[in-house]
Amino acid sequence: MLTIVAFVMALGILIAVHEYGHYRVAVACGVKVLRFSIGFGYPLLRWQPKGSPTEFVLGAFPLGGYVRMLDEREAPVPEHERHLAFNTQPLRARAAIVAAGPVANLLLAILLYASVNWIGMQEPMAYLAHPVQGSIAESAGLHGGELVRNAALGDDEIRPVRSFDDLRWMLTRGALNSTPVRLELEATPGAPLRAVVLPLDQVDASQADAQLLHKVGLVGPWTRPVIGELTEGGAGQRAGLRSGDVVLKVGTTDVYDGQQLRGLIRASVRIDKDGTKAIGQPWRVERAGRTVTLLDVTPEVHTDAGGAVGRIGAFVGEPPQFTTVQYGPLEGLWNGVTRTWEVSVLSLRMMGRMVIGEASLKNLSGPLTIADYAGRSASMGLTQYLIFLALISVSLGVLNLLPLPVLDGGHLMYYLWEGITGKSPSDVWMERLQRGGIAVLLLMMSIAMFNDITRLFS
């Protein structure tokens, strides 16, 4: 239920802001607006303020909205109202009205990101977990447990890293842009900073997906490899593990953090001719200040989306260390502007890479995935939901600025042609481009829905 409510609320806010951008600028330019609609289909609610020419409508189908203006291309316009019609307006006014929707979404994203910055968030500190074996981070000499104090993308000026989420965003940008990331690390509190360069230009961005940071080798923040609450009768309890045990070694492998320990447990399965079996290994743990060796810890075999994995029936790893990240009024606003710009540029680059085949089409997401993320973010609290809204608002703004005839960007493309040549495209070309734009949009929607369904059943 939370997922549905969060999804519908997100759609309502984003569509209303987009259409209000069109409406507000149209009114400011002296255009008569006949209808402002959120949603399509049967009107669930409609009203018209006294003295206003605009009817406001809430439609039954929420995936979209529109602003209907007086226009001679759609219906006859009385001579005394021709100056109020959209098609009779100067080119700059028409372009401003069309661009106002996507711009409104981008402005909303800035406000949402800024609001999160002003409210403040509890975020994990940028302590590095043990890097994935064979990854770029391991090759660069990272061991795990280091605190990232400062970082920079490529030749940019180095700046403080406030949290692991801050670092994660920089690593994602570096990997997708094939740009090295410079880090300044503190191995122990008060120790001199050590400089490390992660050559993220070696990452194959064509396979950019949820496993991108796994390829980099830094998946999450460092956590102590502590055993938490155990399931009654589970594999961990049967092996003699106790809550509070700090795991030092699994078999011959030294354990550095909770993330690494979880990976070792999941990987402790073997498939042979007799089927899938769990592999038992001796564990060395620290318990009440002394070292204890458990002769055999044999996980249970479970099956999830990734196949057969091992589990011990216990919480593994302490929560990471958190810090409060909060910005002042101007700094928070500027951070909202820069984050909106960075997400916009990154979105355009990803779309461009998908078009030329340098990035997987699996990155396209449809309404099912968006609804899932809406529910998850809402369950995590207000700030996470605001971040989700900001991200989707940027995506909506960028998508609508694409030069596809059925989108706002397509109309701006027509106006650019008109501004260069002094005349609008012919009706024949308008019809051809419109059909082509619809075909491309339907193709994108089909791929996105296919990806949604694939993720749902994987």
pLDDT at 357 over 70: no
Q: Which residue stretches of 256-316 are H helix?
A: 258-266
Number of domains in the chain: 3
Q: Are 214 and 204 in contact (CB under 8 A)?
A: no
pLDDT at 181 over 90: yes
Q: What is the pLDDT of residues 233-258, one digit of tens each?
A: 888 899 889 999 999 999 888 898 99
* Three-state secondary structure string covering 316-376: ECCCCCEEEECCCHHHHHHHHHHHHHHHHHHHHHHHHHHHCCCCCHHHCCCHHHHHHHHHH
Q: Which residue has the higher pLDDT, 356 or 103?
A: 103
| 235 and 204 within one domain | no
| 114 and 211 within one domain | no
Q: How far is CA 105 from CA 21, 112, 264, in A?
A: 8, 10, 44
Q: How far is CA 209 from CA 124, 131, 216, 361, in A?
A: 22, 19, 12, 10
Q: What's the whole-number mean pLDDT along residues 367-373?
A: 73
Q: What's the burial of 385, exposed, middle or buried (CB within 10 Å: 0-12/13-18/19+)?
A: buried
> Among 67-71, 113-117, 270-274, 378-382, whose mean pLDDT is lowest?
270-274
pLDDT band (50, 70, 90) for residue 162:
very high
**Residue 85 CB neighbour total at 10 angstroms:** 19
Range of the domain at 296: 227-316
| 282 and 374 within one domain | no
Residue 240 resides in a domain: yes
> Among 74-83, 127-136, 146-155, 444-453, whose mean pLDDT is lowest?
444-453
Residue 74 resides in a domain: no
Work out the end-to-end distance of the chain between its first and last CA atoms, rounded to an integer number of angstroms.
22
- pLDDT at position 456: 67
Size of the chain in residues: 458
Residue 71 resides in a domain: no
Task: Please state, rounded to an integer, the average pLDDT across all residues of the chain.
Answer: 86
Q: Are 39 and 60 in contact (CB under 8 A)?
A: yes
Q: How far is CA 195 from CA 165, 186, 222, 249, 414, in A?
A: 20, 9, 19, 29, 51
Q: What's the burial of 26, exposed, middle or buried (CB within 10 Å: 0-12/13-18/19+)?
A: buried
Q: What are the structure tokens assigned to 429, written together?
A: 């070309």
| 245 and 182 within one domain | no
- For residue 186, give the CATH number of its domain: 2.30.42.10
- Domain end: 316, 336, 353, which one? 316
- pLDDT at position 332: 93
Q: What is the pLDDT of residues 293-307, one digit of tens each?
A: 887 888 888 877 667
| 95 and 16 within one domain | yes
Q: What are the structure tokens assigned to 290, written together?
A: 């002394």
What amino acid positions are annotated as catalytic residues?
19
